């Protein structure tokens, strides 16, 4: 079950990051400004974020199998629009549809993990799910870019459409929502959609749901910014990397993610109260320190420091998954879809703000196309991260004591 569902999540990450290594090509293909280029991912992530709560409610109602398959079909349609769009506006709509399908996928796989694996193993499996999904990032950087260079824009993106349809079919045929399920029919909760909406209301009354939201909103956006769009321009302008060096740097981050996932998943399982909070504070603190040093010192920076920066940023992905541990362990299992969906909203909302904010700050400095991205303008643009770090850590600190009280009633017995 997990393997087939993971194929759907890897495809989602591939679609999500298909503009990562092709951002400059997209700017030239559509003739866009920096702000318009940001809008591709801003709309995608904004749609993803606002769809998380409806997707969570639908997950509680219809089950993971149907949502993963439906999400795959939505992403296939969105990539088809990206392939054939004659104007930028239609391509942006395509990215929005990709975001809608993406929104249904990850929380559905997380729900399957909770159903199919022992309780104590779930934090580690959540980490492995998230990190192995990062293979989609590597697929977008290497095979997808290779296909784009070998053929053209239309063929490359239409190939993703075909893959999405095949994966959706595999999920419909091969996945069951629960080990007790004898067929493919999902047992819906009593009371129908009204009961599911009641589950959402109950999840929003739980402090652990909001604690998870702020964990996700604070830890993840920095590495997401680098991986999804602005990493290549930043590394080329500030560190003077070649495209090959930038690709390798970001790809190494995916490998580091896996190591962090194993460590943090183990810590979160063994120390479910103070260990999880410590992970959040250490991760965000390390990111802020490394970014501050980078922005205050001239580049190119030495290799050892760039490795430290990559270690700090890459820890944000596994740390963001602590959000789902907080949501799961403080909510009723019948509300898990809604609680997970709401918590998962945080990182995508903050990422959307950062994506658009970087583009707007670049345009405000006159860097309206990739040829004008310089060391100085890129440094100023990424300052958008600091208000979000401060807001997120403050809100997390406020919600943490009430969340810990609930966790103690569950684990200190």
Among candidates 56, 64, 57, which has minimal Cα distance to 1? 64
Distance CA 264, CA 250 (A): 21
Question: Which pLDDT band, with edges at 50, 70 and 90, does 21 fall under?
Answer: low
- Average pLDDT, integer, range 257-277: 86
Query: pTM of the predicted model, to two decimals?
Result: 0.78
2-178+192-411: CATH topology is: Growth Hormone; Chain: A; (1.20.1250)
User: Does the pLDDT of residue 404 top 70, yes or no?
Assistant: yes
Tens-digit pLDDT profile for residues 343-375: 988 988 898 889 889 988 998 988 877 788 888
Tokens of 67: 């949502």
Whether residue 300 is preceded by a cis peptide bond, meaning omega within 30 degrees of 0, is: yes
Residue 318: CA count within 13 A, CB half-sphere: 32
pLDDT tens for each residue of 378-397: 999 999 999 999 999 999 99
So what's the pLDDT on residue 6?
Answer: 92
Bigger pLDDT: 312 vs 138: 312
Q: Per-residue pLDDT for 191 more than 60?
A: no
């Amino acid at each position: 079950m997990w393997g087939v569902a993971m194929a759907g999540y890897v495809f989602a990450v591939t679609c999500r990051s298909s503009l990562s290594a092709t951002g400059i090509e997209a700017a030239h293909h559509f003739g866009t400004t920096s702000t318009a280029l940001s809008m591709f991912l801003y709309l995608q992530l904004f749609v993803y974020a606002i769809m998380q709560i409806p997707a969570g409610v639908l997950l509680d109602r219809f089950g993971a199998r149907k949502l993963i398959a439906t999400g795959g079909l939505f992403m296939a349609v969105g990539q088809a629009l990206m392939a054939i769009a004659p104007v930028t506006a239609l391509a942006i709509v395509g990215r929005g549809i990709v975001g809608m399908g993406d929104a249904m996928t990850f929380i559905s796989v997380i729900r399957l993990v909770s159903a199919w694996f022992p309780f104590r193993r779930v934090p580690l499996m959540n980490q492995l799910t998230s990190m192995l999904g990062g293979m989609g990032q590597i697929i977008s950087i290497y095979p997808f870019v290779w296909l784009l260079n070998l053929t053209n824009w239309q063929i490359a993106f239409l190939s993703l459409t075909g893959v999405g349809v095949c994966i959706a079919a595999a999920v419909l045929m091969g996945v069951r929502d629960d080990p007790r399920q004898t067929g493919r029919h999902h047992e819906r909760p009593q009371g129908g959609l009204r009961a599911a909406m009641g589950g959402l209301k109950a999840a929003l009354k739980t402090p652990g749901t909001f604690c998870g939201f702020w964990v996700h909103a604070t830890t993840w956006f920095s590495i997401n910014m680098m991986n999804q769009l602005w990493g290549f321009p930043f590394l080329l302008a500030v560190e003077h990397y070649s495209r090959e060096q930038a690709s390798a740097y970001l790809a190494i981050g995916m490998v580091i993610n896996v190591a962090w996932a194993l460590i943090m998943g183990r810590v979160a399982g063994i120390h479910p109260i103070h260990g999880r909070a410590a992970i959040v504070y250490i991760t965000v603190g390390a990111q802020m320190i490394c970014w501050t040093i980078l922005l205050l010192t001239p580049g190119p920076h030495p290799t050892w420091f760039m490795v430290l920066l990559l270690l700090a940023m890459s820890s944000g992905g596994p740390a963001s998954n602590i959000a789902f541990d907080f949501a799961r362990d403080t909510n009723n299992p019948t509300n898990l879809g809604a609680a997970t969906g709401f918590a998962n909203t945080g990182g995508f909302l903050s990422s959307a703000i950062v994506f658009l904010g970087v583009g707007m700050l670049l345009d405000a400095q006159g860097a309206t196309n990739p040829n004008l991205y310089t060391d100085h303008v890129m440094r100023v643009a990424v300052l958008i991260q600091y208000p979000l770090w401060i807001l997120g850590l403050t809100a997390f600190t406020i919600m943490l004591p009430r969340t810990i009280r609930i966790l103690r009633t569950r684990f200190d017995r």
